[in-house]
Structure 1
């Protein structure tokens, strides 16, 4: 098991100690490194500005290596031995569900930064990533309108892909489309299983592929799809996860034309986002790209700091309640913590990958959309901003 590692922030003994639980190795190393970078940047900014109430945020960082058993053991170590009550961590739904019992048992608080399949509520979690109505609903509409209704599903074999695909199937069929195939591969599958997907997709001849394969296998699948010669402009892969940094890992020349449903893209045109991108590149290098993985992790640290300043204590029970209803500007736009669901009002967007490795934003909601993790509505409703009041 890896030892604790503190980010280079020169902490002092009386700082606000928080846990950071993102993998720096394993199958999800690219996306979780992005979580870690966003977290580090936010903490660095806050500490450089004087910390919170004059005290720095002190991160205690562990690497669970994308192994659920290590997520559980390290979360227990943080809460029971390190006496840390606040954790920023987990990326996959499997890791979140693994640590929830220990977080609840110790009455800690988990800030969770990933988009996910929904159908969950826990008073010990603030869900800062997008919910299914903020991703799957607009994506289903977009695919059927611009590409066609014949969709092939591929996914990793665990809870997030299976639940997301179930939801997407209901949405696509309700709109007159059809799922022409559905195949799952192991979470850490080898190349052979991924190669077997290509003839299945070719035979089914879908208008688009909806992929919920994650991590290194997803990167390999996108490469195989490119090598197979599919016309990405007419028959793209659409996903909820394949963002800027992973495209750079795959090779941007293999990704142009593919689709991502997300609430953040580096190309968002706002002063707040331009400042975030500049700070990110200044810290991690000019070639570094921001993504929905790094931005949400960055945003949720600032959400915590705002609550901590108001509460004046790192008591997880008070921090869990204080942000409810909080509203502020972030790189992805104005967000609000929904008091009923503990999820965030976010602005859905659809991006199409372009040759330089970034995304053109092909569609975006006029306003932030209320989170609906239980998918009570099957159409996007764009409320007026006044409804936030």
Structure 2
């Protein structure tokens, strides 16, 4: 029988984690440095979230260089700005790989930016480490998904809100920005809610454009939807700077967490830093890491981050931890393979485990997703989160949703001999290269 979080597919992917050692000469033996690409928006609607990830990568590269670099060479960051322009992400990715000769790329935030670059990484056989929660329904050989899949964020958040502890929510507003991630995540959540007996009339779905600011009408509709005599909640997949006016309007409308709680999947400490959090206290976010997590690893990370950035007020957040995990996995895999050659690194990285910041270790699975804990946090007046619930252990990222008919029989395993991103366990056939 399937569990809610660690599914049969996840367990199948978790079994027999093994990767062969492949030793070869460094791919960039003639170069003085190993170049690392950083592909994050430093301008436009997503700069509010992505600029910090650029800074995080510079920090991680600096830390690695202090340890002596990698394969006897210093690492060199190559930063580009795709400017929240989704086609430009593909152009900049190609520039990083072909012109700058980077060994790997760390970047993207929105799923539409990731979808834009997938053909480039496949064609040019390079590596992308993607650090943000996403909708699943994808497993690509050249991509490593270090953010949360839906079973590592969205579904646990809904389960929490359904529980008595979470307020026993009965009516659901699925509020998102109009692009791939919110639409696919809400498709999964709608199917999941219906499987739990929620009638269609108790589910409201709405989308707004990137950068949307005129929230008065929509927030009024949310308030009315929540006044029908059943406990209501908002599940928010609003992305980027549209969150700022959304939360401001919630406050203006007097919507308090005890009345209609909002659980967000794209609002972390960085986004809250630009908001008056007083009206938002008690609203929620679901992530795999919060800055307030009390572990020695996190305390050391925050201390070194502040020293590097020279600003004690700069916060940390979940996608930063995802880059921390992904970067350290790449370093360990390169050391294991003895080369930065992408094919050798792909073979070496499955099964690699590194320390996360929430306590314990995260492992790269054969589906190119990682194991993570799931945390629900409550917004505090100081812009931090207090963890109110978390999974008892690590959750295996499930790339194909159990709740969509076209996906429930699919698994991904990039190890030989399967080497398939969408293997159908019912038909026994691989459906293609792994991007649905």
Q: 2:211 aligns with which of 182, 185, 188?
A: 188
For 1:76 and 1:41, the matched residues in 2 are separated by 24
Paired residue for 1:293, among 315, 319, 325?
319
CA distance in 1, matches of 2:196, 2:303: 41
Secondary structure of the structure 2 residue equivalent to 1:59:
strand
Q: 1:13 to 1:238 in 2, by over 3 A?
A: same
Match of 1:48 in 2: 66
- The structural deviation recorded for 1:85 is 4.0
Match of 1:109 among 111, 127, 139: 127
Task: Give the length in aligned residue pairs.
Answer: 364
Equivalent residue, structure 1, for 2:428: none
Tell me the SS of whatever aligns to 1:249.
coil
* Counterpart for residue 364 of structure 2: 337
User: How do 1:1-389 residues align onto structure 2 when only pairs under 5 Å count?
Assistant: 14-145=32-163, 146-147=166-167, 148-178=169-199, 179-189=202-212, 191-192=213-214, 194-205=215-226, 207-284=232-309, 285-333=311-359, 334-339=361-366, 341-376=367-402
2 CA distance for matches of 1:377 and 1:279? 42
Q: SS at the partner of 2:362?
A: strand
Q: CA deviation at 1:13?
A: 5.5
SS at match of 2:274: helix
How far did 1:256 drift?
Answer: 1.4
Q: Is the 8 A contact 2:191 2:403 kept in 1?
A: no
Q: Is the 8 A contact 1:126 1:342 kept in 2?
A: yes
Q: Distance in 1 between matches of 2:345 and 2:386?
A: 37
Q: Per-residue displacement from partner, 1:285-324 (whole Å, max 9, x unpaired)? A: 1111110021112221111111112222111111122110
Confirm or deny: 8 A CA contact 1:116 1:129 kept in the other structure: yes
Q: Which of these two proteins has the greater Rg computed from alpha carbons? A: 2
Distance 1:15 1:310 in 2: 19
Instruction: For residue 254 of structure 1, report the CA deviation from its aligned partner.
Output: 3.5
Q: Higher helix fraction: Structure 1 or Structure 2?
A: 1
SS at match of 2:397: coil
Secondary structure at the aligned position of 2:234 is classed as strand
CA apart distance, 1:173: 2.6
Q: Deviations over 1:230-277 (max 9, x none)?
A: 112332211111111101112222321111111111111211111111
Unaligned runs of 5+ in 2: 1-29, 405-436
Moved more, 42-51 or 173-182: 173-182
**2:277, 2:46 → 1: CA distance?**
19
RMSD (Å), alpha carbons: 1.7
8 A contact 1:247–1:255 mirrored in 2:
no
Partner Cα distance (1:197, 1:377) in 2: 28
Is the Cα–Cα contact under 8 Å of residues 53 and 309 in structure 1 kept in the other structure? yes
SS across alignment from 1:322: helix
